Amino acid sequence: MRAEVLVIGAGPAGIAAATAAAENGCKVIVLDDNVTAGGQIWRGATVDSANTQDVAKQRAMERLQRSGAQVLNGRSVFSADASGTVQTLQETASGNVVEQFHFEKLVLATGARERFLPFPGWTLPGVFGAGGLQALVKGGYSVAGKKIVVAGTGPLLLAVATHLAEDGAVISSVLEQATLAQLAPFAASLWTHPAKLVQGARFRVKLWKTPYRAGCWVIEAIAGSGQTLASVRVTDGTRTWTEPCDLLACGYHLVPNTEIAAFLGCAFRESFVQVDSAQRTSLPNVFCAGEPAGIAGLEAALVQGEIAGLACAGRSHASLQRRSAAERAFGDRMEKAFALRAELRSLPRPDTIVCRCEDVPFARLQGHQGWTDAKLQTRCGMGPCQGRICGPAIEQLLGWRPVSIRQPLFPVPLQAFCFPDASENNTTELIKEKA
Amino acid sequence: MPKLLSILINNVTCQVAPGTTVAAAMLLAQQPSRISVDGDPRVALCGMGICFECRAVVNGTSHRRTCQMLCEDNMTVETNS
């Protein structure tokens, strides 16, 4: 299939980009890995008028539909080249569908994932990511009556705790590793973002009985009878205590999904894709919006997406630049407020699993010089997630940065990768996978 | 109330609401999605298709990311070992 503007990711940034480009006359296709559009922050389709995010989502989705942009869900991008082709895999009940998409301009709106930091017991059933547990509840898992500790860092923790409480969970505490002193300037600066203040107030209403403990973190998850979670050990740096719980929702803010950008050869600024004021990357026909260009939240994603979409359509985006700069500044303040404390680097014991795909314990990584060495000797980072989970953890623990990104960017059946020209005529080819 | 879907998880019939992901259904059934390299039970971690901890055998095909897949009537799901 052919698109003037191909958008990868149907979260807020991708939706805004697709809408702006399509409203200005471009033929737009949006590819998304999830079952439905909305990304993570807008995951789930239920509309709750008390929740401003859902109203915003509904408006954005309606406008996207009217714009004429085509959204294709359930597509994982496993191959891309900047000259104009992207390949996707769609897993269906009857087999795998490989599709090729051709583009003139590409918008990377690939969002972010949670950062996980290994600690003893983090592989036990009952331990989830914070956003992870929220996503699973939106997918139909019920936490009603369950006692849950929400821990880690970042503004997501309160949102997650609120959502879990609304589902009937008992949130025994919210543990934020950042200190109050670190958080205070950020909280005070929210006066410039009224929408975020309203959200914050709503969280407090739902969680008025739940202690929010700044400067505390989980050091161990402990199993009860059988191999499931029974309690967590918590510390504030001077004393430690045990909190019994059924589930732990623990995530350390976000890391950008930049694999496609890195593979294409886009220039980076530290961990993020380098963009200009039009959200254009170092490659002239590739744009990037939202978290991969800098973790700055929903409003930043929306304005950056709109800028990218307008730029793709050759329209002016000058009127959006002030808003964009303000949201970037918000992101910078957020990064300072939720900076990770050094103690989190010493949580793993020698036998704590770091790479969950290959069960590589922390002790086996020590003595290696970096990723290449460790991969060859231990298989760390070589499982199906391709280092997406252990990579950011190891960057914190050992300071190693990822060395290379190769295709397939996502695990695909061998047939899909070996016969890339299956869709010669821009049509789709069904490849039946042998069980 | 929409009709519940009937799926088979590790040979036990489970009823789930339409729209339930396979990962959520496995959690409700208290079944691990996979057994790790060292033999430990694992369940979904990230819930968004990144970590691959939720991969299971769906309708006979292994390594399916169950958090990105909705339950269908008469689906069979097994722990990936």
The CATH code of the domain that includes A36 is 3.50.50.60
Q: How far apart are CA A56 and CA A71, in angstroms?
A: 18
- Residue A324 domain flag: no
Is B25 an 8 Å CB contact of chain A? yes
pLDDT at A206: 75
Chain A residues within an 8 Å CB radius of B63: 384, 411
**CB–CB contact A384 B32 (8 Å):** no
Q: How far apart are CA A220 and CA A242, in angstroms?
A: 9
Q: Are A157 and A219 within one domain?
A: yes
Size of chain A, expressed as the number of residues it contains: 435
Is B46 an 8 Å CB contact of chain A? yes
- Residue A415 domain flag: no
Q: Establish how many alpha carbons lie within 13 A of residue A290's alpha carbon, considering only the half-sphere containing its beta carbon.
A: 33
Q: Are A146 and A232 within one domain?
A: yes
pLDDT at B7: 97
Number of structural domains (chain A) is: 3
* Phi, psi dihedrals of residue A57, rounded to the nearest 5°: -65, -45
Domain boundaries, given as residue ranges, for chain B: 5-79
- Residue A32 domain flag: yes
- State the sign of the Cα–Cα–Cα–Cα dihedral A78, A79, A80, A84: negative
**CB–CB contact A141 B23 (8 Å):** yes
Last residue of a domain, one of A382, A398, A414: A398
Q: How far apart are CA A397 and CA A82, in angstroms?
A: 33
**CB–CB contact A113 B60 (8 Å):** no
Size of chain B, expressed as the number of residues it contains: 81
Has residue B11 got a pLDDT over 80?
yes
Last residue of a domain, one of A252, A285, A305: A252
* Phi, psi dihedrals of residue A362, rounded to the nearest 5°: -55, -40
> Largest Cα–Cα distance in chain B?
43
pLDDT tens sequence for chain A (435 residues): 999 999 999 999 999 999 999 999 999 999 999 999 999 988 874 334 445 567 889 999 999 999 999 999 999 999 999 899 999 999 876 678 899 999 999 999 999 999 999 999 999 999 999 999 999 999 999 999 999 999 999 999 999 999 999 999 999 999 999 999 999 888 888 777 777 777 777 777 778 788 899 999 999 999 998 888 999 999 999 999 999 999 999 999 999 999 999 999 999 999 999 999 999 999 999 999 999 999 999 999 999 999 999 999 999 999 999 999 999 999 999 999 999 999 999 999 999 999 999 999 999 999 999 999 999 999 999 999 999 999 999 999 999 988 888 889 999 888 777 765 554 333 344 443 333
Q: Are A244 and A123 within one domain?
A: yes
**Cβ-contact A233, A223 below 8 angstroms:** no
Q: How far apart are CA A308 and CA A287, in angstroms?
A: 6
**CB–CB contact A125 B41 (8 Å):** yes
**Whole-complex ipTM:** 0.98
- Reported pTM: 0.93
- Residue A341 domain flag: no
Of the candidates A240, A295, A253, A237, the one whose C-alpha atom is nearest the C-alpha of residue A151 is A253
Q: Are A143 and A214 within one domain?
A: yes
Q: Which residues contact A206 (CB under 8 A, 6 or more apart)?
A: A162, A165, A166
Of the candidates A77, A107, A76, the one whose C-alpha atom is nearest the C-alpha of residue A5 is A107
Q: Are A244 and A151 within one domain?
A: yes
Count of CB atoms situated within 10 Å of the CB of A70? 14
Least CA distance to B27: which residue of chain A? A141
Q: What is the DSSP annotation of A270-308?
A: TTEE---TT-B-SSTTEEE-SGGG---HHHHHHHHHHHH
Is B27 an 8 Å CB contact of chain A? yes
pLDDT at A201: 75
Q: Are A138 and A97 within one domain?
A: no
Q: How far is A353 from chain B (nearest CA, A)?
A: 10
Domain that holds residue A383: 348-398
Name the token pair of A413: 């059946």
Nearest by CB to B68, from A34, A116, A257: name it: A34
Of the candidates A272, A266, A351, A288, the one whose C-alpha atom is nearest the C-alpha of residue A105 is A288
Q: Are A147 and A222 within one domain?
A: yes
Last residue of a domain, one of A315, A337, A359: A315
**Cβ-contact A80, A286 below 8 angstroms:** no
Count of CB atoms situated within 10 Å of the CB of A29? 23
Q: How far apart are CA A189 and CA A280, in angstroms?
A: 29
Q: Are A242 and A181 within one domain?
A: yes
Tell me which fold the domain B5-79 belongs to. Ubiquitin-like (UB roll) (3.10.20)
Q: How far apart are CA A207 and CA A188, in angstroms?
A: 20
Q: Among all chains, which residue has been given the structure tokens 């880690």?
A: A152
Q: Are A363 and A240 within one domain?
A: no
Q: Are A27 and A77 within one domain?
A: yes
